[in-house]
Amino acid sequence: MQHMNVLITGGAGFIGSHLAKYLLRNNFNITIIDTFSNYYEVKRKKEHLDQIKKIGEFHLETFDLRDEDKTLHHFKKKSYDAVIHLAALPGVQYSISNPHDYIDHDIKAVVNVLRAAGETGVPHVVFGSSSSVYGDVDGPVREEQADGRVRSPYAAAKSGAESFCHAYRSLYGFKLSILRFFTVYGPWGRPDMAIPLFIKKLMDEEEIEIFGREQSRDFTYIDDIVKGIFLSLYQQTDSEVFNLGNGHPIPLQRLIDLLVDPFPDAKIVDRPFRIGDVKHTWSNIHKAQEQLGYKPEIDINEGLRRTIAWAKKYYGR
Ligand SMILES: NC(=O)c1ccc[n+]([C@@H]2O[C@H](COP(=O)([O-])OP(=O)(O)OC[C@H]3O[C@@H](n4cnc5c(N)ncnc54)[C@H](O)[C@@H]3O)[C@@H](O)[C@H]2O)c1
């Protein structure tokens, strides 16, 4: 379908800005709502928008989706074919010291969007969820394995938000796609996350802290995630949950080895494992492959090569 009208909430963020660029290249009409929260540098979010502007025109609204009236008012002015809700406060560790912020940004704002979408007849809502809803796992997880036994306030908020998505789909009848992303990385990666944080510290010749080497993550390259979100816009069934991962978890020790290779003087400091974190993530992506045609293409070697190349350019080395 050409010229689909799509709202991306959180479109000034890492995933949202990559998605906006991809959809603009594919002739979508894009609106972004973002409040420029200061979880990480606001300057970075403005740079994301500058990157999107290089690709094409889009509408930008800067308000906070926790405001129910403003949210509904906005939706009444528009006629969206799909809403992709990515706005959230991310971060597991920060959620332990600030749990109420996650109830506000990661549940209340979601409810406002779902209700406004329902009230204004939006046909399709896509919700950006997280692998954290699975808690700790020791094998590849399928979508039906999330049982609510999560390990952090962030994960609890995402799990609760998923329930609200189902409730509002049932109330209003829109098509719902819940997408669970597995540790996303790549150029413009969120600066609080392991890969971008480690690369920056290695470039600055600072030590990197490892909170337990016996961990693994299903690191997923940003372009693969963006394609998965794009494909979900065309899914045919009413309500579906999909894992969007790479399917090949990387032990933390392997990640360290890969990163230390281009930075042989790396200083690594071992710290105790942190509560709230999970030890392993591993997606079973069979359902997304079968039903969406999702196919991750970038492995960790190529993904890190591109990410390091971007970081060197961005930080001017
Ligand atoms: N990056 C990952 O590895 C990952 C993994 C799993 C799930 N997710 C989810 O994907 C989504 C996008 O993540 P990201 O990494 O791009 O994060 P991000 O922080 O870069 O982007 C989120 C954006 O949402 C905006 N925002 C937050 N609260 C808002 C509010 N109340 N009103 C309006 N805007 C608001 C922020 O300003 C930010 O620009 C989030 O829902 C996140 O939980 C991300």
**Residue having the nearest C-alpha atom to atom 21 of ligand 1:** 13
Query: Residue 287 domain-assigned?
Result: yes
Q: Which atom of ligand 1 is nearest to the CA of 89?
A: 27
Query: Residue 82 domain-assigned?
Result: yes
Q: Is the CB of 183 under 6 A from ligand 1?
A: yes
| Cα radius of gyration rounded to whole Å, the chain | 19
Q: Is the CB of 15 under 6 A from ligand 1?
A: yes
Query: Residue 311 domain-assigned?
Result: no
Q: Is the CB of 83 under 6 A from ligand 1?
A: no
DSSP labels for 69-112? HHHHHHHHH---SEEEE------HHHHHH-HHHHHIIIIIHHHH
DSSP labels for 39-74? SS-HHHHHHHHHHHHHH---EEE---TT-HHHHHHH
Catalytic residue IDs:
154
Q: Which atom of ligand 1 is nearest to the CA of 64?
A: 32
In this structure, what token pair is assigned to residue 94? 């920060």
- Structural domain boundaries, residue 13: 5-184+221-247+278-298
Query: Residue 210 domain-assigned?
Result: no
Residue 56 CB partners (closer than 8 Å, separation 6+): 24, 25
Residue 127 CB partners (closer than 8 Å, separation 6+): 85, 110, 161, 162, 165, 176, 177, 178, 179
Nearest to 118 by CA among 63, 152, 150, 76: 76
Query: Residue 310 domain-assigned?
Result: no
Residues 40 and 17: their CA atoms lie apart, in Å, by 15
Into how many domains does the chain fold? 1
Cα–chain-centroid distance for residue 117?
A: 20
- Residue 6 buriedness (CB in 10 A; 0-12 / 13-18 / 19+): buried
pLDDT of residue 317: 66
Q: Which atom of ligand 1 is nearest to the CA of 85?
A: 41
Q: Is the CB of 192 under 6 A from ligand 1?
A: no
pLDDT of residue 238: 83
pTM above 0.85, yes or no: yes
Q: How many angstroms is it from 10 CA to the middle of ligand 1?
A: 6
Relative orientation angle of helices 194-203 and 252-260, to the nearest 10 degrees: 30
Q: Is the CB of 85 under 6 A from ligand 1?
A: no
Q: How many angstroms is it from 267 CA to the middle of ligand 1?
A: 30
CATH label of the domain that carries residue 238:
3.40.50.720
Ligand 1 mutation target, pool 34, 107, 162, 307, most atoms within 8 A of CB = 34
Total residue count of the chain as it appears in this document: 317
pLDDT of residue 81: 98
Element (H, E) at 29: strand 29-33
How far are the Cα atoms of 1, 158, 241 from residue 23, in angstroms, in the given order? 12, 25, 21
Task: Give the SS3 label for residue 208.
Answer: strand
Query: Residue 175 domain-assigned?
Result: yes
Question: Is the CB of residue 33 less than 8 Å from the CB of residue 74?
Answer: yes
pLDDT of residue 2: 55
Which residues of the chain register pLDDT less than 50?
1
Residues 58 and 287: their CA atoms lie apart, in Å, by 32
Q: Which atom of ligand 1 is nearest to the CA of 90?
A: 43
Nearest to 211 by CA among 256, 269, 265: 269
Query: Residue 35 domain-assigned?
Result: yes
Query: Residue 10 domain-assigned?
Result: yes
pLDDT of residue 161: 98
pLDDT digits (tens, 9 = 90+) for 223-282: 999 999 999 999 988 889 999 999 999 999 999 999 998 888 889 999 999 999 999 999
Element (H, E) at 310: helix 300-314
